[in-house]
Amino acid sequence: MANGGTGTKIVKWVDTRLPIFSFMDHALRDYPTPRNLSYWWNFGSLAGVVLVVMIATGIVLAMHYTPHTAMAFDSVERIMRDVNYGWLIRYIHMNGGSMFFIVVYIHLFRGMYYGSYKNPRELLWWLGVVIYLLMMATAFMGYVLPWGQMSFWGATVITKLFSALPWVGEAVTEWLWGGFSVDNPTLNRFFSLHYLFPFLIVGVVVFHLVALHTSKSSNPLGIDPRGPQDTIPFHPYYTVKDNFGLGVFFIIYAVFVFFAPDFFGEPDNYIPANPLSTPAHIVPEWYYLPFYAILRAVPDNFVGLWAGLGYIIINAKLAGVITMAASILVLFALPWLDTSKVRSGRFRPVFKWFFWIFLLDVAILGVCGAHAPDEPVFSWFKGFEYLALAQITTAYYFAHFLIILPILGKIEKPLPLPTSISEPVLKGGSSAGASATAQPMEKA
């Protein structure tokens, strides 16, 4: 932008009437970003890009898709075979769902490792969990639309969860279905809501960003910037870094779209939905598997124990649903369950280990969700079934949040924190005390 040119005059004219340029300047150029962000900080903007890709491809797919039980499956096949580049757009959308969850899971676990949910970022974290919940609902309804066997039976199993609610369960389930089973009214409303929800996500993303720009980005050291020497403008430094990561991400994404488009899918979903025949093995999409394992992990005798505690109306089904809901809702309480004042896992020698154990625990839960509960874990030892493994890992999942994190924050001795972000950069890693903060900023 040359000074005093016509361009600048137009910009000024617009800006005094609608401050869009100063807003962008404020959000991108002036936004002071910690100078030490690693590539783990790319995944927020990556998730934003995938959301845009999903909305763009989704709007196009809706131009060719027919939300009717008699025609949905065929209209998707028509997109695949007859619509110009329909196969490409559908594969981008289909794999985009998986990519979205991969990116968001990395974003989420990054937040967990670096304590990004801690004061003053609790609401930022909450908004993230809300986005995650909306994503799960959106992806679930989208998966129903092709009206294959997994679409139908996945929809049946998940909507039936609501029938576990005491007293109103049946009424709520019929209300969701618009009938007595998953049928055309269900498909119609899922299509409508699948179109709506991404825009709700956009809305919450805006709040997420407002909260981010208020509390500012966290960073791998987990300490607050002390002054201008600790930060750099978002543009061009992080626009470049984010764009490089975006390029790498698009390569991986394209490999799936072009060379393994059905890698994340289930072959059964290429069989048209049949309400009279359940597939031998119903599996949800991979990103739900840990929660599916938790849902199935609640045993009868555990329910007996709950009943003994006074929860008379609870049966095994309801207890499973409550446990699964709790496994996600516990994330809202995380900022208060983690009692440590130190944000970054880098300076928490014991937490660091528990973080990786927790990650492994979630991965094992995912494996449990993909197998039948009565299947033996090891082919050479019949006595240990996936149900038992899921129960152990479910118990650990909750123990991590409800026991380990609260206690660990009190008893762990964290490593000494650096005095500032710029100090290791400007002083070559030696600790020279607070005087480093007075140093002028240099290009890193």
Partner 1 sequence: MANSTTAPDGGGETRRDFLLLATTAAAGFGVAAVAWPFIDQMNPAADTLALGSIKVDLSKIAVGQRVSVKWRGAPVFIDHRTPAQIKAAEAVKLSELKDPEPDKARAKKPAWLVMVGVCTHLGCIPKGQKPGERKGEFGGWFCPCHGSHYDTSGRIRKGPAPSNLPVPPYTFLTDTQIQIG
HEC per residue, 270-329 = HCECCCCCCCCCCCCCHHHHHHHHHHHHCCHHHHHHHHHCCCCCCCHHHHHHHHHHHHHH
Residue numbers at the binding site for partner 1 (CB under 8 A):
153, 156-157, 159-161, 164, 174-183, 185, 189, 275-278, 280-282, 296, 298, 300, 315-318, 320, 372-374
Catalytic hit among 285, 338, 385, 423: 285
Q: Is 241 a catalytic residue?
A: yes
Kindly state the helix (H) or strand (E) to which residue 381 belongs, with its residue range. Answer: strand 381-385
Least distance between partner 1 and beta carbon 55 (Å): 25
Given the structure tokens 């930022």, which residue do they identify?
124
Contact indicator for 323, 315 with CB cutoff of 8 Å:
no
Of 135 and 155, the one with the shorter C-beta distance to partner 1 is 155
Kindly state the helix (H) or strand (E) to which residue 378 belongs, with its residue range. Answer: strand 376-378
Of 385 and 423, the one with the shorter C-beta distance to partner 1 is 385
Least distance between partner 1 and beta carbon 335 (Å): 33
Of 94 and 321, the one with the shorter C-beta distance to partner 1 is 321
Least distance between partner 1 and beta carbon 66 (Å): 20
Catalytic hit among 160, 213, 352, 427: 213
Q: Is 285 a catalytic residue?
A: yes
Q: 26-39 burial by CB neighbour count: b if 16+ within 10 A, else e?
A: eeeeebebbbbbee
What is the identity of the amino acid at 424?
A: P
For 166-211, give the DSSP string.
Answer: TTTHHHHHHHHHTSSSS-HHHHHHHHHHHHHHHHHHHHHHHHHHHH
Catalytic hit among 194, 208, 241, 371: 241
φ/ψ of residue 232, rounded to 5? -135, 155
Of 79 and 294, the one with the shorter C-beta distance to partner 1 is 294
33: β partners: 232
**Residues with Cβ within 8 Å of residue 383, at least 6 apart in sequence:** 376
Q: Is 379 a catalytic residue?
A: no
**Residues with Cβ within 8 Å of residue 409, at least 6 apart in sequence:** 338, 339, 340, 341
Least distance between partner 1 and beta carbon 416 (Å): 51
Least distance between partner 1 and beta carbon 281 (Å): 7
Least distance between partner 1 and beta carbon 360 (Å): 25
Least distance between partner 1 and beta carbon 397 (Å): 19
Catalytic hit among 45, 75, 217, 422: 217
Of 94 and 387, the one with the shorter C-beta distance to partner 1 is 387
Of 84 and 300, the one with the shorter C-beta distance to partner 1 is 300
Contact indicator for 186, 308 with CB cutoff of 8 Å:
no
Give the other-Cβ count within 10 Å of 170's Cβ: 12
Q: Is 341 a catalytic residue?
A: no
Q: Is 213 a catalytic residue?
A: yes
Q: 400-412 burial by CB neighbour count: b if 16+ within 10 A, else e?
A: bbeebbeebbeeb
Of 43 and 143, the one with the shorter C-beta distance to partner 1 is 143
CA distance 128 to 381: 42
Coil, strand or helix at 233: strand
Q: Which residues are catalytic?
A: 213, 217, 241-242, 285
